[in-house]
Structure 1
Amino acid sequence: MPLDPAPLNDAKGVFPIAPTPFHPDGRVDYDSIDRMTDFYGECGGNGMTVLGVLGEAPKLDGAEALEIARRFIRRAGSLPVIVGVSAPGFAAMRSLAQASMEAGAAAVMIAPPNTLRTDDQIAGYYRQAAEAIGEDIPFVIQDYPLNFTVVMSPGVVRRIITENPSCVMLKHEDWPGLEKISALRRWEAEGSLRHVSILCGNGGLFLDFETERGADGAMTGYAFPDMLVDVVRHALAGERDAAHDLFDVHLPLLRYEQQPGVGLAVRKYVMMRRGIIASDTQRKPAAAMSATARSEVEYLLARLAKRDPRAGKLVG
C-alpha cells in the first residue's frame, strides 16, 4: 500500500542513486544489489533511489525492472527506497509504480519526456502522470534538462508542486541551478509554496553551494556516497569550511566521473574497485573505459587516498 508521503516531504541527507549491477554476461547481479544496499545503509545514507538514469532502466525489460526494485526494497529494510518509473506511456508507468508501492517503496520518481516544451505541456504531463499512477502514490519530480532537454522554470516547478498534492520531492539537476533553489525556498518562506524536499544530482558537482541555497541533500550516484553524507552533515550543522574542505578534496574525481557518455563506466569501475559491486559491466549499448581512462582514474584515486583514506581501501 502507498505510504504516508509526509516523511519524504521533509527528507534530508543523501539518497544515493543505485546503478544496476550486472554479471559480465549481462545478467542482473542480485548479490551485488544486496552488498550495495548494505553499503548505502552502513555509510549513512538516508534512503536510496533505484531504476534512475544511472540504473540503466531503459535496458531492462518490465519483469527485470520490477524484480530489481523488489530486491532493493527487501534488502533496504527500513531505509526508504524511491523507484524510477519513467516510461514512454502511462500504462507501463502505472504498472511499475503500483507494483513497487505494493512491494514497499516509499515513492516513485517521474522524469518528463523530451517532447515537452512549454510550461503548460510540462505541468499537464505531471498532472496526467499523477492521475495515471494513482493520486495516493507519492512522487518525485526529476528535473534534469541536460539529459531530458526539458527546461523547467522555477515557476513551473511551483505549479507542479501546487497542482499535485502527491508531489513530495524535487530531484534538482538543473545546471546552472542555484538560483532556482533560492527562488523555490524564497516562495516557501513567503507562504506561496508548500514545503517539499529538494535533493540534488549532477554527481554532486555543486552540492557544496546547493546546500547553502536551501537544498536538503543529495540524490546522485557519485562512487563515494559516504563523502556526500559527510558533506551534507557538515553543511546542515553549519560547518561551512569543513563541508567545502572535504568536497574540494573529491572534486577532481567527481568532475572526471561526471563526463557525459563515459561517466557511468567510471562510476561502476570505482564502485567495483571499492568492493561495492563485483563487476563494472554495463548492458549494451554502452560506452567502455579505455586503458588510458582507467589509468587516469587510478591516478585520481591514489591522489585522493592521500587526503581521504577511504580511497585507499580498494580491492582487485
Structure 2
Amino acid sequence: MRLSPDARGVYPIAPTPFLPDGRIDEASIDRITDFYGEIGATGLTVLGVMGEAPKLDGAESAAVASRFIRRTRLPVIVGVSAPGFAAMAGLAKTAMDAGAAGVMIAPPSSLRTDDQIVGYYAQAVEAIGRDVPFVIQDYPLSFTVVMTPGVIRRIVSDNPSCVMLKHEDWPGLEKISALRGFQRDGSMRPISILCGNGGLFLDFECERGADGAMTGYAFPEMLVDVVRLTAAAERGQAHDVFDAHLPLLRYEQQPGIGLAVRKYVLMRRGLIASDAQRRPAGGLSPAARAEVDFLLGRLARHDARAAVAA
C-alpha cells in the first residue's frame, strides 16, 4: 500500500512506548497500534519528532518501525530524517521492505536559502530512491527552516515521488490557501496536506483545504471527528467537538513538556503501560499532573471518551 497524493483523514503520530528502565515496550506498541485502527484512523506515522526517534539507535528504529507495520493493515509512514543520507537511505530501505507506505523527511536546521532547501530534497530523493513516496515535514518552529509556498511548489514539481506535505507552520492558514491556489491555477500538481502542531488549528486548517491531520494529540478520536464533520459540511458540530478539547490540547502544546503530557494521558487511558521517556527528557511535576487531571475531568463532561482517564 503505497502513499499517494490523494491520502486523506488522520495519521496519528505514534509515540514510542518505553518501559521505566528505558527499554522499548513492545506490548504497548501493539496495544496503541490496535487502538488507532479501532478509532477510524486512516494511517499512522512512526519515528516522528514526538516518537523520540533521535533517542533510538539504528537497529531500534528499524525494529520499532517494523513492529508497527506488521501489527496493522493501515498505511504506515516512517520518519527517516537523519544527519546524513547513508542513515536515511538505510532506514528508508528497511521500512519500505517491511511494508511501509512511504517515508517522511525533515530538513536539517542548517538550511537557509530557498535553493539550499530545494537542493537538499533533491539529494534526499536520490539517496532513498525515486520510487519511494515521501512526505515533506514543514515545521519551522522546531527546525528553524522556513519553506515558503513557492519553495514547496518547487520541491513538488522537481520530485514526482513527493506526495504529501506535513504542514506545521504557525501561523500557517494562509500557506494552505496559497498551495491550494497553486493547484487550482495549474502551477502545482495536487498533493495531500496533513497538519500537525498537535491539532491546535485543525478546525480552520480543514476549512482552508487541508486533507486531515498528522499529529499526536492524546485523543486522536477528536481529530477523526473534526476531519469527518468538516468533510460532511457540519461546521458547527466540528467546532463544538474541537472546542471541548481545546483546553487540554493547548496544555499539551507546551514546549518541553508536551510529550510528557501526551504520554501521561495515554498511560491514564491504558494505551501505554508507562509514560516514560528516554533521557534527555522533560517530566511533569506533581502540580502539572494535577492540572492535567483537572482538565481531563472537565473534558469528560463534554466527551465521555475522557471519562476513562479522568
TM bracket (short chain): over 0.9
Q: What CA deviation, in whole Å up to 9, does each residue of 1:179-206 have, x standing for no partner?
A: 0000000110111110110000000000
| Separation (CA, whole Å) in 1 of partners of 2:280 and 2:308 | 31
Structure 1 equivalent of residue 50 of structure 2: 54
Structure 1 equivalent of residue 156 of structure 2: 161
Structure 2 equivalent of residue 206 of structure 1: 201
| Separation (CA, whole Å) in 2 of partners of 1:238 and 1:122 | 37
Structure 2 equivalent of residue 31 of structure 1: 27
Q: What displacement does 1:13 show?
A: 0.7
Alignment of 1:9-88 (within 5 A): 9-76=5-72, 78-88=73-83
Q: Secondary structure at the match of 1:278?
A: coil
Cα RMSD, aligned residues only: 0.8
Per the normalisation by structure 2, the TM-score is 0.99
Q: Secondary structure at the match of 2:296?
A: helix
1:187 corresponds, among 168, 182, 191, to: 182
1:242 corresponds, among 228, 234, 237, to: 237
The AA in structure 1 aligned to 2:28 is: S
Q: What CA deviation, in whole Å up to 9, does each residue of 1:119-151 have, x standing for no partner?
A: 000000000000110000000000000000000
2:115 corresponds, among 89, 95, 120, to: 120
Q: What displacement does 1:314 show?
A: 2.5
Number of residue-to-residue matches in the alignment: 310
Q: What displacement does 1:82 show?
A: 0.1
Q: Sequence identity, in percent? A: 73
Q: What displacement does 1:160 show?
A: 0.5
Q: Secondary structure at the match of 2:256?
A: coil
| Separation (CA, whole Å) in 1 of partners of 2:137 and 2:232 | 27
Q: What displacement does 1:313 show?
A: 1.1
2:262 corresponds, among 254, 267, 271, to: 267
The AA in structure 2 aligned to 1:199 is: L
Contact map agreement 2:2 2:102 (CA 8 A) in 1: no
Per the normalisation by structure 1, the TM-score is 0.97
Give structure 2 stretches of 5+ with no counterpart: none
Runs of 4+ in 1 over 4 A off after TM superposition: none
The AA in structure 2 aligned to 1:243 is: A
